[in-house]
Amino acid sequence: MIVMKFGGSSLESAAAVERVAGIVRRALARKPVVVVSAMGKTTQQLLTMGEEAVAGGPGENRSLERLRALREMHEREIGALLPASSQGEFRRTLDCHFREMADLRGQLAALSEFAPESVDALSSYGERLSSCLIALVFPHFGINAAHVDARCVVLTDARHKVATPLYSQTYARARDKILPLVSQSKVPVLGGFIGATESGVTTTLGRGGSDFSAAIIGAGIAAEEIQIWTDVDGVMTCDPKLVPDARRVKTISFAEAAELAYFGAKVLHPSTLLPAMEKNIPVVVLNSRRPDVSGTRIVAESVPCSSVIKAISCKRGIHIVNIRSTRMLMAHGFLHRIFEIFSRAETAVDMLASSEVSVSLTVDDPARLGDICQALREFSEVSVEKHQAIVCIVGDNLRHTPGVAARAFGALQGINIRMISQGASLLNLGFVVAARDAEKTVKLLHQEFFRSADPAVFD
Ligand code: ADP
Ligand code: ASP
Ligand code: MG
């Protein structure tokens, strides 16, 4: 058994869905379980539609128009792949989902708030719809598909927009719902990104969460491999949108890939590797437009590599919080007090630097920053700097190669580096720079570290 996850860009058009069907058909002997994202940019459209509906005024009409355009896109791209015999069921599926979305939109327009439960309810429709439609299309391409509602499999807590799966129950449900279908030679098709609480309320796993769904399901059914099919050749030495000549990394360890994902490599949702690591299931990242390229194999151990780093990540939207307190000078318990405040606000800290009287740290989610600063100001001076980015170089060899920091600093002359951190894992070296310098920072580091790269690991 393998899990095959297809992202939004792999499902954006009739031609893309047809390519996906070909890829799944060629894998039938390996007993695939398919996890799909919403088609194209549907999730973003749904979220924008919700915001417009809540805003009211001219937004109201725009939200109606957006919903109409979404229906048209699904109707056109999927309709083109279905014969007359399936058109009736196709219409019924569209009618039912779009009626519910229209009802939700109407309810939001009557409210003044787009609450997290509503965000999840609305954004879940992208995957709910795509999974039904793909299951409808597959039989016409020789695939005996069976739709499974992912909300009956992925059980989560009630933290809307960033729900966490309850692993043991989810694994048990995955086995119960999926294995019988596979043993009947069916190909289960599930939507990624979505789950439900014990009481059946729809939740989502966070933007980009379909990768995570694939890994959870793969771990639950003890798949031999989890495949993430996307729009690039694999994990690359950095985002190819920033550096077009980024190279493909043929193989990388779980720990290295997890670090990259956490620090901004969008190709994998940050939590994807946890379930795979725990069950030691290889994750393979592949390009649905170039299925013959062998992609990136993510496994427990990294192979010997003469290059110092494997890749560079970049995470924007970072805020630096500077906390200064002369009164607390040398006092024990200062950091404890600070972290307690962040912990109460459920806000993760990515990087930290301290001096005798001050601490600087970075957060990527500013939602609770107002409350946090207010609490910190009770015992310190606080300032916040917005529009920052974290650029990380990542690789197992960083642990035992001297002089890497000097090389990085040499390459970054002229860039104002605001903070530096050698990750506790010893797998990464991170730099905080102004967001406007991020692209240049990535390019300079890429030039320095990948001028010549070990052909055993890089394409
Ligand atoms: P999908 O819709 O398939 O989930 P995403 O857009 O979420 O695809 O992720 C793929 C994108 O991740 C690529 O198009 C690329 O721009 C971006 N990306 C960022 N860092 C990397 C990296 N190191 N390697 C490959 N892709 C990366
Ligand atoms: N459709 C969701 C998103 O756009 C989940 C995913 O694609 O992984 O965030
Ligand atoms: Mg993604």
Q: Are residues 337 and 217 in the same domain?
A: no
- Residue 329 has a pLDDT of 59
Identify whether 289 is part of a domain: no
Q: In the chain, helix, strand, coil percent, each to 5?
A: 45, 20, 35
On the CB side of 184, how many CA atoms lie within 13 Å of its CA?
Answer: 10
Residues 104, 107, 108, 114: is their CA dihedral positive or negative?
Answer: negative
The atom of ligand 2 lying closest to the CA of 206 is: 9
pLDDT per position as a tens digit, 296-307 = 999 999 889 999
Q: How far apart are CA 110 and CA 320, in angstroms?
A: 37
**pLDDT of 166 over the 80 cut:** yes
Spell out a b/e string for 113-147, using b for 16 or more CB atoms within 10 Å of the CB, else e. ebebebbbbbbbbbbbbbbbbbbbbbeeeebebbb
Average pLDDT over residues 334-359: 89
Average pLDDT, the chain: 95
**pLDDT of 424 over the 80 cut:** no
The tokens describing 320, both together, are 């630096």
Q: Are residues 176 and 30 in the same domain?
A: yes
Kindly identify the ligand whose nearest atom is closest to the C-alpha of 228.
1
Q: How far is the CA of 7 from the centre of ligand 3 (A)?
A: 6
Write the CATH number for 359: 3.30.2130.10
Indicate the top mutation candidate among 11, 35, 41, 232 to test ligand 1's pocket, ranked by most ligand atoms within 8 A of CB: 232
- Residue 127 has a pLDDT of 98
The atom of ligand 1 lying closest to the CA of 6 is: 3
Q: Which of 231, 260, 294 is the last residue of a domain?
A: 231
Work out the end-to-end distance of the chain between its first and last CA atoms, rounded to an integer number of angstroms: 28
pLDDT per position as a tens digit, 307-329 = 999 999 999 999 999 999 877 65
Asked whether 155 and 171 are in contact (CB, 8 A), the reply is: no
The atom of ligand 2 lying closest to the CA of 38 is: 1
Average pLDDT over residues 392-406: 91
Ligand 2 shell residues, CB under 6 Å: 7-8, 37-38, 43, 126, 192-193, 207-211
Name the least confident of 150-159, 246-255, 400-409, 429-438.
400-409
Work out the number of other CB atoms within 10 angstroms of the CB of residue 385: 15
**How many residues are listed for the chain in this entry?**
459
Identify whether 419 is part of a domain: yes
Q: Which of 231, 263, 287 is the last residue of a domain?
A: 231
Residue 169's pLDDT band, with cuts at 50, 70 and 90, is very high
pLDDT per position as a tens digit, 224-265 = 999 999 999 999 999 999 999 999 999 999 999 999 999 999
Domains held by the chain: number: 2
Indicate the top mutation candidate among 47, 210, 288 to test ligand 2's pocket, ranked by most ligand atoms within 8 A of CB: 210
Average pLDDT over residues 18-39: 98
Ligand 1 shell residues, CB under 6 Å: 7-10, 37, 208, 230-232, 235-236, 238-241, 265-267, 311
Residue 426's pLDDT band, with cuts at 50, 70 and 90, is confident
Identify whether 96 is part of a domain: yes
- Residue 361 has a pLDDT of 94
Q: Are residues 50 and 184 in the same domain?
A: yes
Q: Which of 210, 231, 252 is the last residue of a domain?
A: 231
- Residue 159 has a pLDDT of 95
Using alpha carbons only, what angle is made at residue 188 by residues 185 and 194, rounded to the nearest 5 degrees? 165
Q: How far is the CA of 265 from the centre of ligand 3 (A)?
A: 10
Identify whether 380 is part of a domain: yes
Q: How far apart are CA 455 and CA 61, in angstroms?
A: 55
Sheet of strand 351-354, all strands in order from the earlier edge strand to the far edge:
351-354, 358-363, 311-324, 381-394, 428-434, 417-422
pLDDT per position as a tens digit, 348-390 = 999 998 877 889 999 999 999 999 999 999 989 999 999 999 9
Q: Are residues 31 and 122 in the same domain?
A: yes
Identify whether 268 is part of a domain: no
Q: Are residues 216 and 349 in the same domain?
A: no
Identify whether 350 is part of a domain: yes
- Residue 336 has a pLDDT of 87
- Residue 330 has a pLDDT of 61
Indicate the top mutation candidate among 43, 46, 231 to test ligand 2's pocket, ranked by most ligand atoms within 8 A of CB: 43
Q: Are residues 197 and 345 in the same domain?
A: no
Name the least confident of 172-176, 230-234, 324-328, 438-442.
324-328
The atom of ligand 2 lying closest to the CA of 209 is: 8
Identify whether 243 is part of a domain: no
Write the CATH number for 34: 3.40.1160.10
Residue 285's pLDDT band, with cuts at 50, 70 and 90, is very high
Kindly identify the ligand whose nearest atom is closest to the C-alpha of 265.
1
**pLDDT of 84 over the 90 cut:** yes
Q: How far is the CA of 162 from the centre of ligand 3 (A)?
A: 15
Residue 206 backbone class (left: φ over 0; alpha: ψ -120 to 50; beta: rest): left
Kindly identify the ligand whose nearest atom is closest to the C-alpha of 209.
2
What is the span of the domain harbouring residue 176?
2-231
Q: Are residues 133 and 23 in the same domain?
A: yes
Percent of the chain with pLDDT over 70: 99
Asked whether 3 and 217 are in contact (CB, 8 A), the reply is: yes
Q: Are residues 323 and 206 in the same domain?
A: no
Identify whether 252 is part of a domain: no
Closest CA to 160 of 367, 337, 344: 367
